[in-house]
Structure formats: structure tokens, C-alpha cells
A and B are shown apart, each in its own frame.
Chain A
Amino acid sequence: MIAFARNVRLWFAPEQIREEGGTPDYRFSLANERTFLAWLRTALALIGGGFAVDQFLPDLRWAWRAGLALALLGAGVLCSLRAVNHWMRCERAMRRGEDLPVSRFPAVLSVVIAVVAVAMVVVVLVGWEG
């Protein structure tokens, strides 16, 4: 938790990260930036999915619809916050010449998306019957 708070401070202190270690090859930094953008797109897709659930499934019961939409929006928020955190950790690891950080997040996100997909199937079937 303390490490996380320190990371959050670094998000807002751009000078601090440039003081550590040496500047890596710009191509590595750009690759890291593209990975960050890919995660940000994933987050935007989840948020768009939340809006879409709210918009395009009007026949669902309100609780189901709001629950699914909020779950997708929440996943989008988590994904985007994790994107900037992971980008910064990678950037710092490259500057210090350390190994890149590993993460359980992709696996967790996959499982969550699978669960949401199953829930969607159930919801659509139930919605049609009702």
C-alpha cells in the first residue's frame, strides 16, 4: 500500500522519474508507451461497453442493467489506473536497469471479462423469456 502511494506521487511528479538511472533507448520507451495506450484502449472499450449495456438492453430489469453497466465502468476505471501505474513502473525499471515488473492483472481481467460474458448470456436469455 505504501509502495502504491509512492507510485501515485510519481504520476504527478514528472521530473522525479527522469532523475533516476539513465535514459533508456528511446525505442524501448516508445514501446512502453504503446503498451500503455493499448491498455488505455482496453479501458475505453470497457467504459464504452458499460454505456452500451445501459443503452442497448432497455428491456432488462433495472438492477441487472445498472449492475452490469457499473461493473464494466468500474473495470474500465481499474484498467486505466493500472495502465498508468504499470507504465510508470516499467519506465522506472528500464531507467534503473532492473527486470520489468510482472503482474497478475491481465489474468484477473481475463477472468472478470469471462464472468461478465457468461452473465450477459444469462441476462439475455432471461430477458428474452421475461
Chain B
Amino acid sequence: MDYQQLLLALLPDLLVVVALFAALGVDYSRMRGSRLAERYQMACRISAAGLIAGLAVILVQLTQAWSFTALASMTDGQLELNTGTLTLKALLYAMGLGVLPLAKRDQITPQVSEYFALLLLATLGMGFVVTSRNLLGAFVALELVSLSLYAMTVLNQARRASAEAALKYLTFGAVSSGFLLFGLSYLYGATEQLDLNQMTGLTDEPMLVLAYLLIFVGLGFKLALAPFHLWAPDVYQNAPTPVAGWIGSGSKIAAAALLIALLKPVSSTLKDALIPALAALAVLSMVVGNLGALRQTNLKRLLAYSAIANAGYLLVGVVAFSEPGNTSVIFYILVYSLASLGAFGVVAVLTDTLGRDAEISDFNGCWTKTPGLAVAFLVFVLSLAGIPPLAGFLGKFYLFYAAIGAEPGAASWNDGFYWLVAFALIMSVVSLYYYLRVLKAFLVAPSDDGKAASIAPIKIGWAAGVTLCLLAIAVLALGLWPEPLLNLLSD
């Protein structure tokens, strides 16, 4: 094994690990007696430095200054560094970087360095999940993500609801990990391979069908697919808002990328056996998510139901089982995550001084107090709703395009995926009702200044401001000009 090459390949991750320990060490030694705000400042800076350094190295790797072609086979698929996976990893690091200023604003816990260390660990794990093609490696990395997220959910110890949500998250998550591991072990048992690159043409023997069904349960939990979604509304509502944002974006990207990687070796017979299960999950998630969201009065809960619905749309691209389908799924989860993180970012900035859960009506009259944030939120929510020219529309369009393109002939109504796409389109129309209800609070309703508890004009801070601005620009730019990213992802 060429250790120098391995070192270069893992340099971004090493830099993040160094930053992680630096943040912990500095916080426990030099910053011991400092004020909370200063400790947050320091931990945030160190973490940001680590992620920026890591990101820079990934960008260099992306230019293919170093070649990693042989790495996948040398490491049994533990590390598959090609343009597509490196792009995903770079975007994950960049989004993780965006979470940091939001976490810094919301000083919920005295365990400062742990908070940032966990954030970095989660980001690190996501980076590994998307670059790994090895069953065990990917599973361990996914667990790293999940465990960090469980712990971060409960960081705000002043809130009992947080503890309850974290416990739910942990128990559901542990069970689902069990299912996933069980499924992966069946997959290994049937193929005698851990390296996904070595698997091809898996047929519809019962063992494999069972393996994939178990995998769907496990990953369905991570993606918040109905009926494995029950944890999501509570966790989204009660986790610290930046953490909820990171659960709703980064971890989704990792899980979706893993799902696509696992489904790549499937042959057409196995595909036909799996499609009914996937289609059922898609329909159920769209129904549960969209109808559930209609009734919500809490914005973070509403975003949780929207996440469930969006996971349903995502599967419409998965059932295509084609190259465009796979690219569309990754593209969609990316643009969804950008918009979702942005929406959570706006909520975090607006509510971290409120001291309680924000109801939708608390945002009334946002356009008078913070017009910039209201416009940013408009961009994020319209992207989630799939309105052009924002990226969410193109993402959704691409999913439907791939689904119909998989089998375009239509002799009868249930040929191909016309019915599934039609269903998803109807559900998108339903979703507009609740997205517009939220936007109505932000942009239409007059501010009720009589109410003492509504949000007050606040200082956004440059880091959070720049983050939200960049996210909004990214959402718009990817809608107008997605071609470069599509090319990178389809490599």
C-alpha cells in the first residue's frame, strides 16, 4: 500500500480531526476561565479553520493534481475518491462550515468545545459516508454521523423536550441501525463482498431482496421516509435549531448518497422486485409529509413534515434505476439540503433570542423588521416548494424526468412511472398551501407589535449573514445554471 497516497487522500479528514482536538484542547486549557461568548468564538474559529483547510485540500484533490484512481481497489472500496464523491464531500464541508456561525450565535450550552467537536465529527462522518464504497466503512461512518447527532440534539439541557426528543431519536435510530446492519450483513452473505464496486448484477434471490428491504428500513429512518419518520417532527422541533438544520441537510445527503451507492449493483430482475417497495415508501412519505404539514403551527415541525415529503419525492428518482436517476437524486438532495439549511438558518437567527419554540405566527411582519431575512427565507421556501427559477424546481423536474425517462412508453396507465410522477405533482400542489402559509407570515401579515413575545429586530452578525446570503445565492444559481454541478455529479 502506498501510504503517501493514502495520507494525501485523507488529508482533509486529518485536518478536521486536528481542528477537533485543537478545539477541545484549547477550550479546556487556555479558555478555561473565559466568558461563554469568548469560548464560543474561539471554538468556532478553530473549527472553521479546520473545515476551511479541509475544503481547500478537497478542492485541490478535485483539480486532480493527485490521482487516486487505484485507491478504491487498494482499500477495498473504503475510499472512492472521484469527481462525484469529492464534489459531494466538498459541499458537505462547505455546508458544515455554514452551520458553525449559526451554532455560535445560539449559546445554549456551557459544553462549548463538545458542541463544535460533535459538529465536526458529524461532518467528518458524512464525508466518509459519501466517499466510501465499502459496506462496513460506510456503516461505521454513518453511525459516526448518527451518534454525533443524537448527542447534539440533547445539548440544550435546560429543555426537557430536548431530552425527550433525543431519547426518541436514539432509540429509533439504534433500532434502524440494527436493521441496516442486518441488511448489509445479508448483502455480504449473499455476495461475499464488502466492496460495492466488486458487486454487479445482483439478481432477485430472496436473500438479496430481504437484504435490500432491511436496508430500506435502516436508511428510510435516516432519510425520514414514512413510516419510519416518527422521530423527525419531535427532533426537528426540539433540537437546537442549527443542529436541526444539520440533521435536515448533511445527514440526508449522506444517507441518500449511500442509498444510491447500494442500489447501483442491482440488476433488472432485482430492480423489478424492489420497485414496489420503493414506490410504496415514496407514496406514503409524500402523503404523510404533505398532509401532516398542513396542520402544523410550529415552523420547525412544519419543516420536518416537509422533509418527510421531500424524501418521498427523492424516491421518485431512485425508482428510475438509471444514470440520470442517480444523478437526479444526488442533485435533488443537495439543493434540498441547501434550501433546508438556509430555512433553518433564518429560523435560528430570528428565534435564538426568543427563548421558546417559534410558532409560525411569531414571524408575522418579518418584512418590516428584517426585510433581508424575509427575502432570503422566500428564496429558501420557494426552492423547497419547487418554484422556478430556484434550484428546488430543477431538482424536482430532474427527478420526474428521470422517472419517466426510465420507461417512457405508455400503453396503459400503470406503464412506467407516469402515475407516480402524477401523484408527486399533485402532492407538490398540496405542499404549496403550507409553504405559502409560512410565507404569508413572513411577507404578508402586518407585525403584531402588541404581542410581547414576537421576534424583535436583531443583529444578524456578519458570519451568519454571509452564510445565509451564500446559501440563497447558491439556491438561485443552481436553478439558473445547474450544468457544471450536474456534470461533476454524473462523473
Check if A and B associate. Answer: no
Chain B residues with a Cβ under 8 A of chain A = none
Chain A residues with a Cβ under 8 A of chain B = none
